[in-house]
Amino acid sequence: MKNMTQSAAARIQSAEAKANNGLVAQGGFAARAQRAAANNQQSSRPAPPNGPSKTGNPSGPGRGNNPPKSK
């Protein structure tokens, strides 16, 4: 199974519009395909180097995270 791409979603939306006199149903398959493509593109971005810990351990030196603020 492959992830939905922007170009594949555009082809689906174009085909639906041609079949329905230029209309694309809100919440229809083409809309869901566009949303999936946007989510796939968004999730492929790398995390920022100073983002939160993904290990569940507290932040600290050597983890690429910001250390906790001193009180």
Over the stretch 39-55, which tens digit does the pLDDT of each residue have? 887 666 666 666 666 67
* Residue 63 confidence class, pLDDT cut points 50, 70, 90: low
Please give, one letter per residue, the 3-state secondary structure of the chain: CCCCCHHHHHHHHHHHHHHCCCCCCCCCHHHHHHHHHHHHHHHCCCCCCCCCCCCCCCCCCCCCCCCCCCC
Domain boundaries of the chain, sorted by first residue:
6-43
Residue 12 pLDDT: 94
13, pLDDT greater than 90: yes
pLDDT of residue 11: 94
